[in-house]
A and B are shown apart, each in its own frame.
Chain A
Amino acid sequence: MRRLLNRIEPAFREGGRLSRLYPLFHAFDAFLLSSHVGTQRAPFGRDPLDLKRLMTLVIIAVFPAFIASVYFFGWRILLMLIVSYAAGGLVEVLFAVLRKEEISEGFLVTGFLFPLIVPPGLPLWMVAVGVAFGVLVGKEVFGGTGRNLFNPALVGRVFLALGYPSAMSGNWIQPAQGGWGRILPGLIHQSVDAVSSATPLVLAKGGTLASPLDLFLGRVTGSAGETSALAILIGGLFLVGVGIASWRTVLSIIVTFAGLTAVLHAVAPASVAPVWFNLLSGGFLFGAFFMATDPVTSPTTQSGKWVYGVLIGGVTLLIRSFSGFVEGMMFAILFGNICAPLIDEVVIRSKMRRYAHDE
């Protein structure tokens, strides 16, 4: 492998035939073999954690939710994932080549998350358009991974939700019921009919609640990866456990959301569903564990993360219960993203004032 890479490297180097595509080669090279750039300054030894590992761990954490989505909705999800990687990767590579920068691992996470937050029956071209828009407008125009204001996957989803509202609220697939789900049968007959049966949240507006067990396992309609609370909890707790997702963010979102739901359900049971239902339904858990915890778009200060979580938890419930939208997680996280720099600013200013006072 090393020899192969060494042989093709000159073509991508300065003056080589494909020198413009060097970022692509570099990313591929660094993907296959770990990088070993020597240190020039103290400390000469460094912590082994790098962004590649960080992003890989996020993908590993989302994997249970991906498996669950394939189980319930069929192998079509894998197809959507491939399309998402292809379209999102194209935009990422294009910008890396134009900017002569290295390709960032960030899009691997965006591309993995995106198919899981759209309806499983969504036409493939829409997946491509959505993820491309998300990476382009959500990330690249801000300067790439690390500089973006909004979660790119959510920007793509918002774009689709506003541009193709009927496709985004209709292409649900009835989840599989059998023991093997759609993993084995799906291999035999590929096509699964998209049905437009309503999601548990829509039904809840009409007063019927799905069963808790179905919600917990994910045997309900909904966006591909968000239905199975079990799979999300497995991956999400892993992500918090390894210290990548901030426990402050997750905890404050869940506590605020559950607390507010409990209070409002007691006051207005007609418009607010019970706590267990609100926690398990829709994209709440998926958003809390995987979308809101994106370090780039959440506040960078530790105390800011508490405020951010409270904001998201509260706004989600308010949108869900008292607006025309059935699901509020997406808008709440984007709202949190907008507020994140502001929250940071307040935290930093208060710290600065303390410093000034000390002196």
Chain B
Amino acid sequence: MPSLDDAAGPRSVVVNFVLTEPYRARGKVVINRSWQSIVQGIRFLQRLLADYGSVEIILTSPDDPVARMIAADLSGYAWVRIHAVPLVYPIENPRILTDLVRAARSRDAWVAPGRGESGRGAPGRDGRGAAAPSEDIWVVDAQGIAAVGACLAEGLPLHERIVVAGGPGTPDPKHYAVRIGTPLSHLFGEPERAGSGGGERPLLLRGGLLNGLPADESTDSVGYDDDAYFFLPRAGRREPFGFIRPGFDRSSYNRSFATQLTGGRDRHITASLRGERRACIACGLCEKVCPAGIMPQVIHRYLYRGLIEEAEKAGLDRCVECNLCTYVCPSKIELVEQFIHAKLEIQREKEEILAVEARSRGGEEEAT
């Protein structure tokens, strides 16, 4: 995040309409509801941009209706660029998006990649480095840009969110337009009532399948950045011989369930590990899913042996914490948790080193 008193505007603003995480609000719903605000918002963004800045619009396909609407409404603006991205999670991750935009720009401008720009992992990568203030890239989603438009064009405060209730435990899956601050119990009914239907109440997650965090239905309310409520059933009855069932009701990243042939959906997902914690068997599934191109299993092994520096060299800070590796791990290892822990550890060590250096420098000054 750029600091507030930073005079220079962002080099680019990425407006992202694509949410690929399962059970998140659909961009289409937001667009249908607030198209005018979105267009207004994009127009206003231009004033914020640094010289030669651009607005990068992320869509799924270059000739879908939204792209045509944008072309019609914003034609003639050289600073608007449209990128088509594949519908593959976690494309909406800000780090993935900024990399994508940087790569596209370096292709356009014939700038040698990696040089002349602060690549990721460099000290000034998030714009805090004073060396390259114009490298700031802001990422905003459809609801965010609609709010900007509504605020600047119509003078409306940020008051409404479009949220979706989904997941296998949802009594009534649909999109809602709600005021921020609405208690969740108003939206979904009192927990007691919902629980009387039989069995344990499903776990309510704020967010989608991969990054959602538990919310309390009885006390929490709609937040200013919520867009999805995911009802995940609690771990249910234990099935006899679960490991040998063909699995028509569950789908996996791996091809080892019958849904691979029938194309069924995962109706069996619950808030459980669906297996037992084991040692890493180096199956490499995490490497296959990793969008950052790192090797989680290798980093896990380094961290397991306490080799934090090796883990850092193996690309630990490239991890975008998308949780895909933790999701697919057949040994049910909490990979991302371990990585976040290690990153914090590294950060703390670096701060300590800086503090020691500062102190010793201060000592020298006093001595002179």
- On A, residues with C-beta under 8 Å from B are 1-2, 30-39, 41-54, 56-57, 102, 104, 106, 143-147, 241-244, 246, 295-296, 298, 300-302, 344, 348, 351-352, 355-359
Contact = CB atoms under 8 A, between A and B. Distances in A.
B232 interface: yes
Given A56-B244, A356-B313, A42 B211 contact: yes
A18 B81 CA distance: 69
A37 B240 CA distance: 15
B284 A43 contact: no
A298 B331 CA distance: 17
A18 to B, nearest CB: 21
Interface stretch (B129-137, B155-163, B262-270): B262-270
B328 A44 contact: no
A357 B278 CA distance: 35
The interface centre, meaning the residue of B119, B253, B272, B327 with most chain A CB atoms within 10 A of its CB, is B272
A106 B280 CA distance: 12
Given A54-B283, A146-B281, A37 B330 contact: no
B186 interface: no
Given A45-B327, A52-B275, 10 more contacts: A34-B274, A43-B211, A46-B274, A46-B275, A49-B257, A145-B278, A241-B255, A301-B287, A302-B287, A302-B288
Contact of B250 (A31, A39, A48, A355): A48
Interface size class of B (residues with CB under 8 A): 35 or more
A56 B243 contact: yes
A42 B276 contact: no
Interface stretch (B51-59, B140-148, B202-210): B202-210
A42 B207 CA distance: 10
Given A35-B275, A348-B314, A42 B212 contact: yes
B58 to A, nearest CB: 23
Contacts of B315: 351-352, 355
29 contacts: A32-B241, A33-B238, A34-B242, A35-B242, A38-B234, A45-B232, A46-B275, A46-B327, A47-B328, A48-B275, A49-B254, A49-B256, A49-B330, A50-B243, A50-B275, A50-B332, A53-B244, A54-B256, A104-B278, A106-B281, A144-B279, A145-B278, A146-B278, A242-B254, A244-B254, A244-B256, A300-B287, A301-B295, A301-B298
A60 B329 CA distance: 21
B68 interface: no
B313 A44 contact: no
A39 to B, nearest CB: 5
Given A33-B238, A42-B211, A52 B279 contact: no
B86 interface: no
A146 B297 CA distance: 12
B178 interface: no
Contacts of A42: 210-213, 323, 326, 336
A47 B214 contact: no
B236 interface: yes
A47 B283 CA distance: 14
A43 B313 contact: no
A295 B256 contact: no
Nearest to B213: A42
A33 B242 contact: yes
A50 B284 contact: no
Contacts of A56: 243-244
Contacts of A241: 255
B330 A30 contact: no
B111 interface: no
Contacts of A302: 284, 287-288
The interface centre, meaning the residue of B254, B281, B284 with most chain A CB atoms within 10 A of its CB, is B281
Contacts of A41: 326, 334, 336-337
Nearest to B123: A359
A272 B298 CA distance: 40
A143 B214 CA distance: 36
A99 to B, nearest CB: 12
A30 B283 contact: no
Contacts of A106: 281
B323 to A, nearest CB: 5
A293 to B, nearest CB: 11
A45 B210 CA distance: 7
The interface centre, meaning the residue of B114, B120, B327 with most chain A CB atoms within 10 A of its CB, is B327
B122 interface: yes
Contact of A44 (B203, B238, B242, B268): B203
A294 B326 CA distance: 22
B69 interface: no
A307 to B, nearest CB: 14
A146 B283 CA distance: 10
A42 B271 CA distance: 10
Contact of A51 (B270, B278, B287, B326): B278
B327 A52 contact: no
A164 B205 CA distance: 61
B247 A48 contact: yes
A55 B165 CA distance: 37
A295 B281 contact: yes
B359 interface: no
Interface string B283-318: 110011000000101100000000000000111001
Contact of A47 (B274, B281, B313): B274
Contacts of B270: 36, 45
A345 to B, nearest CB: 10
A47 B253 contact: yes
A344 B203 CA distance: 41
A46 B332 contact: yes
A56 B254 CA distance: 14
Contacts of A348: 295, 298, 314
Contacts of A344: 298
Given A51-B281, A146-B280, A39 B298 contact: no
Given A1-B240, A34-B242, A348-B298, A50 B276 contact: yes
A245 to B, nearest CB: 10
